[in-house]
Amino acid sequence: MKGVELLQTLIIGAAIGGTPVGSMLVQIISFIILLALLGKFAWKPLMKVMQDRQEFISSEIDAAEQSRKDAEAAAKTAAEELKKTRAEAHAIIEEARKAGQQQEEQIIAIARREAERLKDAAVEDIANEKEKAMQALQAQVASLSVQIASKIIEKEITSDDQDKLISDYVKELER
């Protein structure tokens, strides 16, 4: 009996006597208001944030890709530069060494030449001096011998000697 009653209630409850237009209006109006408010205060900012994030991520990916490429290029350039610099340094060192060697040889040659020249000059000087000395000596020797001779002749020649000298001289003449 109770079951039948229950069923009746259910059916009557479901059937809904008449159409409550007012409820429908409340429903529609409140839903439209909800739609408008949520659209403005919830969905729009939410979707904007999501969109922004998407754009941010994609731009970040682009930027990362770009910086990776840049870094790669920079590393390549740096390696090339390093290689070039190394070669250059090598060349400079080599050149310096060569120049040093050359300079060394040059200096040695100059020094040798200078020494030679100095030696020659000295030899020449010595010879000149010797010559001069000889000439001076000769002049002195002549005058000195004359003086000596005259002195000897003045003092030493006695009458005997003179006689002898004369006689010798005469003898020579006789021959």
Partner 1 sequence: MNHESPMWNDAFGIEWLDFNLSTSLMTIISSIIVFIICVMGSRRLQQRPGKFQNVMEMIVDFVKGVVGGSMDWKTGKHFLPLGLTLFMYILVSNMLGVVVMGVSSDHTLWWKSPTSDAVTTLTLSLMVVLLSHFAGIRMHGMKHYLKGYVKPIPFMLPLNLIEEVANVLTLGLRLFGNIFAGEILLSLIGESLAFSAPPYTTILAVIPMVAWQAFSLFIGAIQAYIFIVLTMVYMSHKVSKDH
Q: Which residues bind partner 1 (CB under 8 A)?
A: 5-6, 9-10, 13-14, 16, 18-24, 26-28, 30-31, 33-35, 37-39, 41-50, 52-53, 56
Please, which residue, 41 or 169, has the CB nearer to partner 1?
41
Q: Residue 10 or 107: which CB sits closer to partner 1?
A: 10
CB of 63 to partner 1, least distance (A): 15
Q: Could you give the CA distance from residue 34 to residue 27 in angstroms, rounded to a whole number?
A: 10
Q: How far apart are CA 165 and CA 172, in angstroms?
A: 11
Residue among 51 and 85 whose Cβ is closer to partner 1: 51
User: Residue 16: left if φ>0, alpha if ψ -120 to 50, beta else—which one?
Assistant: left
Cβ 31 to partner 1 shortest distance, Å: 7
Cα three-residue angle 77-79-83, rounded to 5 degrees:
115
Cβ pair 70, 77 in contact under 8 A: no
Q: Least distance to partner 1 from the beta carbon of 58, Å? A: 13
- Residue pair 75/83 in contact by the 8 Å Cβ criterion: no
For partner 1, the closer of residues 18 and 154 by Cβ is 18
We find the least distance from the C-beta atom of residue 94 to partner 1, in angstroms, to be 59
Kindly write down the DSSP assignment for every residue of 53-66, as one continuous string. Answer: HHHHHHHHHHHHHH
- Of the pair 27, 101, the CB lying nearest partner 1 is at 27
- Residue 55 Cβ vs partner 1, minimum distance, rounded to whole Å: 11
Q: How far is the C-alpha of 61 from the C-alpha of 68, rounded, in Å?
A: 10
> Longest Cα pair distance anywhere in the chain, in angstroms?
217
